[in-house]
């Protein structure tokens, strides 16, 4: 691509994902996408020809990583912050991805979007309950990490957008797992939870969850995904496990049984 496409400014950086298969402009300050949206994309069991809605897409990293792994998807993103939505549109163009980004509050989606259903709804909701914490001075960071929309609203809105037999996939902090399970109980089924731990001997800090409209399978706890080798951090070198390296560097799928 022409060099001009990747020109950065004082306010942005351009970062590589999937070993350079995806490049994304991000704010230099504030919330910046890291590993979590890449894991979410790897965990989403989409197939060519299906439709995907990402709620709270930020600069579009999860959707763009998913598009890099699964060609032929119809991708739509919703982002409340116009600055992030504008970067997501720029990233879609720069990565030659068919990704329609809509600037809207989740609780006030455009009428045409409220009429649509998707094969997959994916989300990386804010990890922290705004009512239980202190707001960040950076508006973008605060919205991404806490925000004004409760997790229950994210789930309600996501569930309403899932097509029959479609899937909801999300990543969230482990302490919020009971809250998520309570909210989807009786509404979605075939729930699979995959914990994510920093190292083998540590308790999981995050979880990935997949569930399905009209799902009838029993609840399943998948093996924990361990991010790093070794019992502790051993200096300034990369220590990802081979499975995680394959996801982060090569765009591999995160198999549920891995």
pLDDT digits (tens, 9 = 90+) for 38-65: 999 999 999 999 999 999 999 999 999 9
Fold that domain 3-250 belongs to in CATH: Rossmann fold (3.40.50)
Q: What is the pLDDT of residue 66?
A: 98
Q: Provide the residue ranges of all domains of the chain, joining segments of one domain with +.
A: 3-250
Mean pLDDT of the region 205-225: 97
Q: What is the pLDDT of residue 258?
A: 60
Distance CA 121, CA 184 (A): 14
CA nearest neighbour of 99 among 63, 66, 69, 70: 63
Cα 88 to Cα 75, 103, 114, 115: the distances in Å are 12, 10, 21, 23
pTM, to two decimals: 0.89
pLDDT digits (tens, 9 = 90+) for 99-131: 999 999 999 999 999 999 999 999 999 997 745
């Amino acid at each position: 691509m022409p060099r001009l496409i990747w020109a950065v400014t004082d306010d942005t950086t351009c970062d590589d994902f999937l070993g350079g298969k995806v490049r994304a402009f991000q704010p230099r300050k504030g919330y910046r996408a890291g590993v979590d949206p890449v894991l979410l994309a790897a965990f989403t069991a989409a197939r060519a020809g299906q439709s995907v809605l990402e709620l709270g897409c930020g600069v579009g990293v999860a959707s763009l990583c998913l598009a890099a792994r699964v060609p032929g998807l119809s991708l739509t993103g919703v982002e409340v912050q116009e600055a992030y939505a504008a970067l997501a549109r720029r990233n879609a163009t720069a990565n030659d991805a068919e990704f329609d980004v809509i600037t809207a509050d989740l609780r006030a989606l455009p009428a045409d979007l409220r009429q649509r259903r998707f094969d997959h709804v994916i989300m990386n909701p804010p990890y922290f309950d705004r009512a239980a914490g202190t707001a960040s001075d950076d508006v973008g960071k605060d919205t991404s990490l806490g925000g004004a929309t409760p997790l229950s609203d994210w789930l309600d809105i996501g569930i309403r957008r899932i097509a029959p037999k479609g899937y909801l996939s999300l990543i969230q902090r482990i302490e919020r797992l009971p809250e998520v399970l309570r909210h989807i109980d009786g509404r979605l089924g075939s729930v699979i939870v995959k914990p994510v731990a920093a190292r083998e001997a540590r308790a999981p800090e995050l979880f990935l969850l997949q569930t399905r409209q009209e799902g009838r399978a029993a609840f399943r706890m998948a093996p924990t995904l361990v991010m790093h080798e070794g019992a502790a951090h051993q200096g300034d070198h990369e220590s990802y496990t081979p499975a995680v390296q394959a996801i982060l560097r090569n765009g591999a799928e995160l198999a549920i049984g891995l």
